[in-house]
């Protein structure tokens, strides 16, 4: 009863009713997912740019013999693409395990331009046979209100004036994937996009808008990410839109202290990823993100997988507890001890899920 009671209290919009009032069925579930994307662009994240004119890469640093103890090749690439004729480029690391044919792959949206990095345990990933690419989000566009910086400036020139920066970082992750699919032999049935916190919100958006990602991994993403907004504790729309208005489109500000007026909740974002995999990780001391609201979002989204004949979330009918790992369904979840952080523990548990 815990989950149904909680979800009733939160009174979130129904996944199975189109905006025009008609009902969602197995036949038109894809249309509803397309509608989720329309709603999310209109109400919270802003408009996605059109597909790029081209994507190309130039290797600017070659692999070295001792990369990851000689078990991997690490190269740095300058990735360039154009939107409506305007070019933009940013650096990308591509890390491939040696001696693994068609590895599973993760596109990691990171805070820093480091390889490895405190949030990227490169050797652990390589030792488990995973290939990955990573870029620093600030190399795409600054994390502030400067809308002339980087991709933001490029998009403004071609008419995108209300696209939030989360969408820009997600768009860059998609371009990274374009390049990887052109140049590397990877397992196309197992491609994840991953990020922590603001970049966990970004990973969910990338997964929701690009079906080539077979899994979206959001670590401690909280408000405007994996956490249900209605009834959430910790961060609220009022704080996030005041402190980080540039992450979102302007309309999102209309919902400050008016959560009940939202025509969606974050289970729309998660359900847009169905019937592929979503992985949501929480940390118990991260009350700003609100682990319970992240857990409830998994449960609230679950039925959207059922309509595709797939298992959604298989959890327990109680509040989440430290040590929980729910890995059976296509929505995976874990809750660990400790603070807001993208830890090795998070990666190792996620990899157990991703490598199943």
* Interface ranges with ligand GCU (CB under 6 A): 197-198, 222-223, 235, 240, 288
Q: How far is the CB of 200 from ligand GCU (least distance, A)?
A: 7
Q: How far is the CB of 193 from ligand GCU (least distance, A)?
A: 16
* CA distance readout (Å), 341 to 115, 120, 138, 240, 336: 17, 11, 19, 19, 11
Q: How far is the CB of 352 from ligand GCU (least distance, A)?
A: 24
Q: How far is the CB of 123 from ligand GCU (least distance, A)?
A: 25
Nearest alpha carbon to residue 132 among 223, 83, 67: 67
Q: How far is the CB of 294 from ligand GCU (least distance, A)?
A: 12
Task: Give whichever of 235 and 292 is closer to ligand GCU, judged by the CB atom.
Answer: 235
Task: Give whichever of 240 and 296 is closer to ligand GCU, judged by the CB atom.
Answer: 240
Q: How far is the CB of 71 from ligand GCU (least distance, A)?
A: 31
Task: Give whichever of 55 and 227 is closer to ligand GCU, judged by the CB atom.
Answer: 227
CA gap 269, 288 in Å, rounded: 20
Task: Give whichever of 244 and 354 is closer to ligand GCU, judged by the CB atom.
Answer: 244
Task: Give whichever of 244 and 350 is closer to ligand GCU, judged by the CB atom.
Answer: 244
Nearest alpha carbon to residue 194 among 141, 131, 240: 131
Q: Which residues contact 336 (CB under 8 A, 6 or more apart)?
A: 281, 282, 283, 284, 322, 323, 343, 345, 346, 349
Task: Give whichever of 75 and 196 is closer to ligand GCU, judged by the CB atom.
Answer: 196
CA gap 11, 265 in Å, rounded: 10
CA gap 120, 118 in Å, rounded: 6
Q: Residues 84, 268, 138, 350: what is their CA dihedral angle, to the nearest 10 degrees? A: -130
Sign of CA dihedral 348, 349, 353, 356: positive
CA gap 280, 291 in Å, rounded: 10
Q: How far is the CB of 275 from ligand GCU (least distance, A)?
A: 27
Task: Give whichever of 161 and 238 is closer to ligand GCU, judged by the CB atom.
Answer: 238
CA gap 29, 167 in Å, rounded: 24
């Amino acid at each position: 009863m815990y989950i149904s009671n909680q979800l009733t209290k939160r009174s979130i919009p129904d996944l199975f009713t189109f905006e025009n009032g008609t009902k969602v069925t197995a036949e038109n579930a894809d249309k509803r997912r397309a509608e989720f994307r329309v709603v999310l662009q209109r109400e919270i994240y802003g408009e996605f740019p059109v597909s790029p004119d081209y994507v190309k890469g130039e290797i600017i640093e070659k692999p070295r013999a001792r990369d990851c103890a000689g078990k991997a090749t690490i190269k740095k690439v300058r990735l360039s693409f154009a939107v409506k004729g305007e070019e933009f480029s940013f650096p990308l690391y591509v890390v491939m395990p040696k001696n693994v044919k068609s590895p599973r792959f993760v596109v990691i949206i990171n805070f820093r331009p480091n390889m490895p990095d405190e949030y990227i345990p490169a050797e652990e990933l390589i030792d488990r046979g995973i290939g990955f690419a990573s870029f620093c989000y600030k190399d795409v566009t600054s994390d502030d209100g400067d809308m002339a910086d980087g991709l933001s400036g490029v998009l403004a020139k071609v008419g995108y004036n209300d696209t939030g920066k989360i969408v820009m970082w997600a768009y860059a992750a998609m371009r990274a994937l374009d390049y990887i699919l052109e140049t590397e032999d990877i397992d196309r049935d197992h491609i994840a996009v991953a990020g922590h916190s603001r970049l966990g919100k970004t990973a969910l958006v990338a997964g929701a808008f690009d079906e080539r990602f077979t899994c979206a991994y959001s670590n401690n993403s909280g408000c405007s990410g994996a956490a249900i907004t209605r009834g959430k504790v910790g961060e609220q729309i009022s704080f996030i839109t005041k402190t980080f208005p540039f992450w979102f489109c302007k309309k999102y500000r209309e919902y400050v202290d008016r959560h009940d007026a939202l025509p969606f909740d974050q289970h729309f974002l998660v359900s847009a990823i169905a019937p592929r995999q979503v992985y949501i990780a929480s940390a118990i001391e991260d009350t700003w993100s609100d682990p319970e609201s992240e857990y409830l979002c998994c449960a609230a989204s679950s039925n959207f997988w059922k309509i595709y004949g797939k298992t959604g979330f298989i959890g327990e009918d109680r509040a989440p507890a430290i040590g929980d790992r729910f890995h059976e369904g296509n929505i995976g979840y874990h809750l660990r001890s400790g603070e807001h952080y993208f830890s090795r523990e998070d990666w190792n548990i996620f990899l157990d899920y991703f490598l199943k």
